[in-house]
Amino acid sequence: MVHYWSNKIQPLLPGWSHPLWGSRNRPEEAKIDTYEVMFIVIPELDEEQVENTIGRFRTIIERTGGEVGEVNNWGRRKLAYEIDHRADGFYYVMEFTAGERTLPELKRILRVSDDVLRYMIVKLPPTYARKLLPETAEVSG
């Protein structure tokens, strides 16, 4: 005979998780986070060298088990303020998913890359619907 309260132990809904246990019971359903990285590459390079630089980061992401999604080239843009006496830079935005080693490795490489002025890695909210990015290339020379 089944105890009358045994159904109370069952999860109420399929997606239900215990407030304390969380989703520890279902690790295989762990969500894959999407990240986005923005680079500012130094303006001294030409387009081809910039593409090579970006390709380098792409291989790092792919080698460490991540996957590169959309890559957006904003082109050469004026900076809002000078960084290292440079008034403009090449902006690239790249969406990717990360493997276990991707983020520390990417950060390490970016830190030692002299051709990257700045970078920023942001985790995108899972519900974020992709919207159109500003099509900008304000400075071209």
Partner 1 sequence: MGRRRSGPSRRERPVKSKPCVFCKENIAYVDYKDYNMLRRFTSDRGKIRARRVTGLCPQHQREAATAIKRAREMALLPYVVGR
Nearer to partner 1, 133 or 137 (CB): 133
Distance set, CA 20 to CA 3, 7, 11, 25, 93 (Å)? 25, 19, 13, 11, 37
Nearer to partner 1, 14 or 126 (CB): 126
Q: How far is the CB of 135 from partner 1 (least distance, A)?
A: 12
- Assign 3-state DSSP to the chain and report helix, strand, coil percentages, each to 5: 25, 35, 40
d(CA 36, CA 129): 13
**Footprint on residues 105-124 left by partner 1 (CB under 8 A):** 118, 120, 122, 124
Could you say whether residue 133 binds partner 1 (CB under 8 A)?
yes
Nearer to partner 1, 8 or 131 (CB): 131
Backbone angles phi, psi at 61, to 5 degrees: -65, -45
**Footprint on residues 23-62 left by partner 1 (CB under 8 A):** 38, 40
Q: How far is the CB of 83 from partner 1 (least distance, A)?
A: 6
**Positive or negative, the Cα torsion across 23, 26, 27, 31?**
negative
Q: Which residues in this chain contact partner 1 in the complex, by CB under 8 A?
A: 38, 40, 79-81, 83, 89, 93, 118, 120, 122, 124-125, 127-129, 131, 133-134
